[in-house]
Amino acid sequence: MRRPPLAVVFVGLLVIALGETAGAVISELRAQIVRYAQARVAANPQAHGLAGSAEYDAEITARAVYSAEAGLSFFHTHAQGLGPLVILVSTVAASAVPWRRARGALYALLALGAFFPLGYLAYSVAVLEWGRETGIETVERYVLAPLGSAAIVGLVALAVLVAIGRRRGWAA
């Protein structure tokens, strides 16, 4: 099998490394993360709609902290999955797509898509800084959707190009 460009392999590895480190951090520093998240919610009362009622505010804070923790957890799992996926799928592109420009476009899309998990890191921060609904909506629209779409378009384009290459009898 042919190897994709070094930059694409590097991106895949970097995402794996970040994902593994995030897993260790989530596990070892959970209490500190929760305390930090609670402090950020308290520091942004308007964004979270805190009303000054202890019971209501505690519920709002718990929901925001839960969402921020979920974002970190998604970052860890998606990075662990997408890192190897980008390396393996770009290997298929390197080996089975005969057209140089098409391969370049695929590498660009897959490398961009590899950063999709970082969107969940942004999700965690945005939830705490901008409030749960606004944070999630903003990150989904401007970070997760574009990066996820890049990965999906790359995968679909790869399937189409492999099929076309196969019909034309090209082999790596």
- Shortest distance, position 74 Cβ to other proteins, whole Å: 13
**Pick 73 or 134: Cβ nearer other proteins:** 73
- Please identify which residue in the block is written with the tokens 């590895």: 13
Structure tokens at 9: 């392999």
């999700």: which residue's tokens? Answer: 123
Q: Which CB atom, from 9 or from 164, has the smaller least distance to other proteins?
A: 9
Nearest-approach distance from CB 88 to other proteins, in angstroms: 6
For other proteins, the closer CB: 17 or 163: 17
Tell me how far apart the alpha carbons of residues 107 and 8 are, in angstroms, rounded to a whole number: 7
Shortest CB 156 distance to other proteins, Å:
21
Q: Quick one: tokens of 154? A: 């790359």
Q: Which residues bind other proteins (CB under 8 A)?
A: 1-3, 6-7, 9-10, 12-14, 16-17, 20-21, 23-24, 27, 77, 80-81, 83-85, 87-88, 91
Query: In sequence order, what are the residues at sequence separation of 6 or more whose Cβ sits closer than 8 angstroms to the Cβ of residue 117?
Result: 15, 18, 19, 74, 75, 78, 79, 82
Nearer to other proteins, 18 or 65 (CB): 18
CB of 124 to other proteins, least distance (A): 20
CB atoms within 10 A of CB 64: 23
Phi, psi of 117 (to 5 degrees): -60, -30
